[in-house]
Amino acid sequence: MKGKAFLNGAYIALIFALLLVLSPVQLGFAQYAEPIRREKALSFLENVVQLDLSKYEVKTITEDEHMPPPLPVWYEEVSYMLKTGGGWLDVGCLFVNDSFIGCRIYKHDNVTLHYTVEQPTNLIDKAKGLLKRYGNWIRNPLNREMELLEKMVKVDNVNITSDDMDLRVSVTGILVDFQWILLYGNGLELRVLTISFEDYSLYWFTDFRDLYKVGSITLKVSKEDAIEMALSLAKNFSWKVGETEIKDFVIKKEPIGVELTLWNREPYTFYPHWRITLFLDKVYPGGVTGIQVGIWADTGEIHYIIALSTGGGPPPQDSSTPSPEPEPAPSPQPSPQPSIPMEYSCAIIAITILAVTAASSYLYIKRKRDRNKT
Amino acid sequence: MWRRTSFPTTILLLVLLAVLPIQMSSIKTVGAVRNGSVIYGIPAQMEAGEDQATINVCSVIWYYFYLTGRYQYLRNYCGSNTQNYLVYSVANYLETYPYDFATVFYKGHSTYLPPNSAYNPCSHNHTFLYDNDGGGSTMIKNGGFENGNAYWTVGGPGDHMVTNEDHNWGSYSMLLGFKYSANVANGRDYAYQLITVPSGLTTVKLSFWYHLFTYDSVAYDWFAVYVAPVGGDPVLKFKKGGVDYPGLEVYGWEQVVIDISAYVGQSIYIYFEVANMYDTAYKTWCYIDDVSATDNWIWDSEIGLRTVNGIHDFVFLWSCSTANEAQIGGISGTHTWGMAASWLKRTALSLNGYANPDYSGHCFIGFQYYSKPFKEPTGYSSYTYGYFAVLFYYYALIEGQTIKQALDSAATVCFGTSFQYTPLYNGYSYNGYLSKMRVWGDGGMTLP
């Protein structure tokens, strides 16, 4: 039993280690951001958002390179704390390969927003101003985007369409979002530009127009074919709960979930993809209520098939003779604080050492390399 | 917030971490704020891939809490320790010790029960979470009839046999009634088992699945379930029959759940029968399967009895139907209903704490109808919903972001966009239900 516990511990430690090596824990040990990123971030705040930086105490808080698991997307973030009387702004600007992608601006406490130029009170005018200044800033006017914005009369949940682009505006509480979406036919679309306001001030700006690419919009597999392929695959599908294999299940004829989207098969390059969700007639062992199949629509290649272990199902059937509600039981005494199982303790030590070692080695080598460069 | 760390500092950190006591509960600082965090999950009730994803995600979330060094009580009970009595006990402990702040994460299954039903006679919706033993039972033996009729006593003039011709789960079920046998007037075909409901349990449920075929009306033929204490009178708990005759009516497979908490500490017979009464006309038979008597549900009302001081401030239940539309729940004296009201002990929460945080310092995240499996891809690169959960906690704990910011940051990585553009926020149709993640209360709060 002890041997088994140890093996479990080692196994958990391995999982931990793998997860942690790939996890963002190591973000803190990243290299310094290139000065150009810092300059760009501040320039965006000053020239596009029109923040009066002289009214803030500007402090760089992180300059991280993010390598989120599982790897394919790499971006850098420069974060600033802009302190002023009553509160502070938490600003994070994203870059990919030193190209500016966007900024998030979060307000903390009772921060006052100081602008170099008086800001319009109307959100449409605010969005127009931002779009125009951003176009000037990147030296590439956003004429098509502006044309759609010009058609807006009032801030509301609206959808303004041109040939191949949508401007979708949504209003939820204090959040107002302007999204520009490229349309590729067959329902394929890609969100490329977003401006969001929270309580009348900009809090989210992203521009993926130059970063995102569409690798193909060819539909080699039709919707009907995709459903047929999914049903055929699901027939021979099985899953395990513990040691028990479940292969005897009934797929409902309807509804069938069908979704055609652009999915980035390669970093930042998108391809059409069918996601077919087949629902089962009841909740099966393992909490499985459906089977999902992913199919690349441009090649017909199966991307994945999984059992969907959702967290429950519809309420069980009623019984005909009601019985009283569960009597509240007396609360147990405060339990002695249960100790961490031994396998976890082993795992924690192993992981901590592994993670810190990996991170510090990375930093050390990186710095040495950087020093050699200079 | 992580900072760049010098190499000697890193080495020092490495040494410190290696020699520090692992159990953060041993850290006691005079005058310090006391925080508690518990992570629950029920991998045993999940499909193999999902079960591993659940274990991994819970472990990493636990690790992020650990890294903060600010949680004096920190436990990862994901797995066999996720039992209802432990959940109740820990909730009570964190509320009464007392701690200043407590947070809970749960990944598993849950169901809400509509009001005025047999196992929820209350006039409000009640919700329960499953524990790691789920529908398994230690009280009923061979409830799936996979070992023939072992542990069951069967008899009567009908078929009463274990068969593989129909079943709910596994390969076998028990056939009762008169499918093959000739009808016998006033004939009762039966199967029963004697069980003991241990003392000290709180809510005990008898659950079974049935598949009924009948050509007769319920006035003449039926399928019935009785509970009979040893030496006492049988009590009818469930009865089902046809609406009319002579056409075939089929019901099921359907699950029935009966509250048998009243029999705690007693030995009782669980008795199933198919009765053919008064004449020999028209056949009726029934398959039963997956009989269990369990104490495996974690009830909202039971949690509400423990959260007496409102210490639980952030609760994240990654499971179904814990946050249905406007179902925050309610509080009436010591009685609570709904997971949000029961855990947080308050009902005045913003229904959209992401877009309209109420700055109450309390936040509940759950799912309206179906929750997303951890291993389901988000549709952006190769990220899954499990990664989303991990990254949410990373940004909330390690980066010190607010709930709203952490949702945005995790969404940026896993969906390539902010949270409000994701299906989690906008909803996804699953099996005919519009499901979504709901953030109630204060999305502007930070975790200590």
Distance in Å, alpha carbon of B257 to nearest chain A alpha carbon: 7
Contact A240 B47 (CB under 8 A): yes
Tell me the chain B residues in contact with residue A360 when contact means C-beta distances shorter than 8 Å: 5, 7, 10-11, 14
Beta strands in chain A (DSSP E): 57-66, 75-84, 87-96, 99-109, 158-161, 165-172, 175-183, 189-198, 201-207, 213-214, 239-241, 244-246, 251-266, 269-284, 288-296, 302-309
Residue B145 belongs to some domain of the structure: no
Is residue A28 within 8 angstroms of chain B, CB to CB? yes
- B221 and B108 in a single domain? The answer is no
pLDDT score recorded for residue B412: 86
Average pLDDT of span A332-357: 34
Last residue of a domain, one of B260, B294, B328: B294
- B317 and B334 in a single domain? The answer is yes
Residue B281 belongs to some domain of the structure: yes
> Percent of chain B scored above 70 by pLDDT?
90
pLDDT: which is higher, B362 or B231: B362
Last residue of a domain, one of B263, B294, B325: B294
Average pLDDT of span B369-375: 95
Answer yes or no: are the C-beta atoms of A60 and A80 closer than 8 Å.
yes
- CATH assignment at residue B370: 3.40.50
- Asked whether residue A347 carries a pLDDT value surpassing 50, the answer given is no
- B34 and B111 in a single domain? The answer is yes
- B285 and B402 in a single domain? The answer is no
Contact B262 A12 (CB under 8 A): no
- Asked whether residue B139 carries a pLDDT value surpassing 90, the answer given is no
Range scoring the smallest mean pLDDT among A310-319, B104-113, B114-123, B235-244? A310-319
- Which residue among B45, B391, B405 sits closest to A286, beta carbon to beta carbon? B45
Last residue of a domain, one of B243, B271, B294: B294
In angstroms, what CA-CA distances link A228 with A99, A234, A292, B402?
43, 10, 13, 45
- B172 and B236 in a single domain? The answer is yes
Contact B5 A322 (CB under 8 A): no
Residue B51 belongs to some domain of the structure: yes
- B264 and B304 in a single domain? The answer is no
Give the pLDDT band of residue B210 (cuts 50, 70, 90). Answer: very high
pLDDT tens for B384-408 read 999 999 999 999 998 889 999 999 9
- B275 and B344 in a single domain? The answer is no
Is residue A347 within 8 angstroms of chain B, CB to CB? yes
Contact B113 A315 (CB under 8 A): yes
Closest C-alpha among B99, B94, B100 to residue B77: B94
pLDDT: which is higher, A350 or B283: B283
Distance in Å, alpha carbon of A314 to nearest chain B alpha carbon: 7
Average pLDDT of span A282-303: 93
Average pLDDT of span A278-287: 89
pLDDT tens for B28-40 read 333 457 999 999 9
pLDDT score recorded for residue B215: 97
pLDDT score recorded for residue B199: 67
- Which residue among A248, A306, A357 sits closest to B49, beta carbon to beta carbon? A306
Of all residues in chain A, the one with the smallest CA distance to B20 is A349
Domain count, chain B: 2
- B290 and B157 in a single domain? The answer is yes
* pTM, two decimal places: 0.72
Residue B137 belongs to some domain of the structure: no
Most B CBs within 10 Å, among A25, A252, A310, to test the B interface = A310
pLDDT score recorded for residue B142: 87
- Asked whether residue B2 carries a pLDDT value surpassing 70, the answer given is no
Contact B431 A326 (CB under 8 A): no
HEC profile of chain B: CCCCCCHHHHHHHHHHHHHCCCCHHHCCCCCCCCEEEEEEECHHHCCHHHHHHHHHHHHHHHHHHHHHCCCCEEEECCCCCCCHHHHHHHHHHHHHCCCCEEEEEEECCEEEECCCECCECCCCCEEEEECCCCCCCCCCCCCCCCCCCCCCEEECCCCCEEECCCCCCCCCEEEEECCCCCCCCCEEEEEEEEEECCCCCCCCEEEEEEEEEECCCCCCEEEEEEEEECCCCCEEEEEECCCCCCCCEEEEEEEEEEECHHHCCCEEEEEEEEEECCCCCCCEEEEEEEEEEECCEEEHHHHHHHCCCCCEEEEEEECCCCCCCCCCCEEECCEEECHHHHHHCCCCCCCCCCCCCCCCCCEEEEEECCCCCCCCECCCCCCEHHHHHHHHHHHHHHCCCEHHHHHHHHHHHHHCCCHHHCHHHHCEEECCEEEEEEEEECCCCECC
Count the helix, strand and coil residues of chain A and give each as a percent rounded to the nearest 5: 30, 35, 35
Contact A328 B302 (CB under 8 A): yes
Tell me the chain A residues in contact with residue B172 when contact means C-beta distances shorter than 8 Å: none
Of all residues in chain A, the one with the smallest CA distance to B304 is A328
Distance in Å, alpha carbon of B8 to nearest chain A alpha carbon: 9
- B379 and B276 in a single domain? The answer is no
Contact A335 B90 (CB under 8 A): yes
Tell me the chain A residues in contact with residue B46 when contact means C-beta distances shorter than 8 Å: 241, 286-287, 309
Residue B10 belongs to some domain of the structure: no
- B308 and B432 in a single domain? The answer is yes
Place of tokens 């199966």: A302
- B331 and B249 in a single domain? The answer is no
Range scoring the smallest mean pLDDT among A130-139, A173-182, A316-325? A316-325
pLDDT score recorded for residue B23: 33
Residue B12 belongs to some domain of the structure: no
Is residue A204 within 8 angstroms of chain B, CB to CB? yes
Tell me the chain A residues in contact with residue B207 when contact means C-beta distances shorter than 8 Å: 316
pLDDT tens for A25-51 read 333 333 444 578 888 999 999 999 999
Where in the sequence is the domain holding B187, given as residue range(s)? 153-294
Contact B110 A311 (CB under 8 A): yes
- Which residue among A15, A287, A332 sits closest to B88, beta carbon to beta carbon? A332
- Asked whether residue B73 carries a pLDDT value surpassing 90, the answer given is yes
- CATH assignment at residue B254: 2.60.120.200
- Which residue among A28, A68, A308 sits closest to B5, beta carbon to beta carbon? A28
The tokens for B226 are 């009785």
- Asked whether residue B5 carries a pLDDT value surpassing 60, the answer given is no
pLDDT score recorded for residue A316: 54
- B210 and B89 in a single domain? The answer is no
Residue B330 belongs to some domain of the structure: yes
Average pLDDT of span B264-292: 93
pLDDT: which is higher, B131 or B364: B364
